[in-house]
Structure 1
Amino acid sequence: MSSARDAVFPAGRQALYERNRYSPAIRSNGFLFVSGQVGSQPDGAPEPDLPQQVQLAFENLNAVLAAAGCSFDDVVDVTVYIVDPERNFERVWPVVMAHWGEAPHPTLTGVGVTWLYGFQFEIKVIAKLPRAAAA
């Protein structure tokens, strides 16, 4: 029995993932498990503007989903992490909602945190792979 992981890498960011030693996503049993995505610039540095950081987190997430043949419409479960949500929620949430799509929406867990390695927002998802992408 092989324990090889079916990793998914978006174009252009492989070195960043290799340096940090994790896979952006793993396909398993018809689902795509996506690592937390942050609003990082191409070199991995945090985008300083919070709304733009959230926008970049979604762009990075969408690149991982696309590399697996998915889109946000295939997402079934979302976890978001926000540093100091009492202060930052109102600046973050309009950007999140711009990417959320139509009902029925995925499940959602929101977590307030004190530290995200220099970031203020992170999004982690599980997506159902379309039949063609699941093979």
Structure 2
Amino acid sequence: MTAATTRDAVFPAGRQALYDINGYSAAIRSGDLLFVSGQVGSREDGSPEPDFAAQVQLAFDNLTAVLAAAGAGLDDIVDVTTFHTDPEKQFDTVMAAKARAFPSAPYPNWTAVGVNWLAGFDFEIKVIARIPQTA
């Protein structure tokens, strides 16, 4: 790979080992864009948080940590994809977390997908963000 095509991996503090175990990066920086892998509501040891509302909030917290590691935040997100194991039952809980994360317009675009398996989790969020230019 040339320098122009080398992947610039980003990891939040203290969680790189969890990504190494599964063979992927938390995020990849490409120019001024950050492509964040799906974040789930995992505890420090990587296990799923059993309470659904807490799992969703923890997924957003984990997402925030990945963004911060790249010098970005929730306001820098331009594209969101979420995955739900039971969208109809989970809708209100997810919308409440979404409202906390994105309290005012303009909102990022959002695609929600119903799935039947998330490796023991019930919610996952992946995003593309713009990395702010530093002065």
TM-score by length of 2: 0.94
Alpha-carbon distance in 1 for matches of 2:13, 2:122? 24
Number of aligned positions between the proteins: 133
**RMSD in angstroms over aligned alpha carbons?**
1.3
Contact kept? 1:54, 1:96, Cα under 8 Å:
no
SS at match of 1:131: coil
1:1-135 residue pairs with structure 2 within 5 A? 1-2=2-3, 3-132=5-134
Which AA in structure 1 matches 2:20? E
Q: Which amino acid aligns with 1:90?
A: D
In structure 2, C-alpha distance between the alignment counterparts of 1:101 and 1:69, rounded to whole Å: 21
CA–CA distance in 1 between the matches of 2:94 and 2:37? 20
Structure 1 unaligned blocks of 5 or more: none
Instruction: State the SS of the aligned residue for 1:70.
Output: coil
Structure 2 residues not aligned, in runs of 5+:
none
Amino acid at match of 1:125: V
Report the AA paired with residue 50 of structure 1.
F
Instruction: Tell me the distance in 2 between the aligned counterparts of 1:60 and 1:78.
Output: 15
Divergent runs of 4+, >3 A: none
- Percent of aligned pairs sharing the same letter: 61
Q: Look up the SS of the partner of 2:134 in the other structure.
A: helix
CA distance in 1 between counterparts of 2:41 and 2:127 reads 15
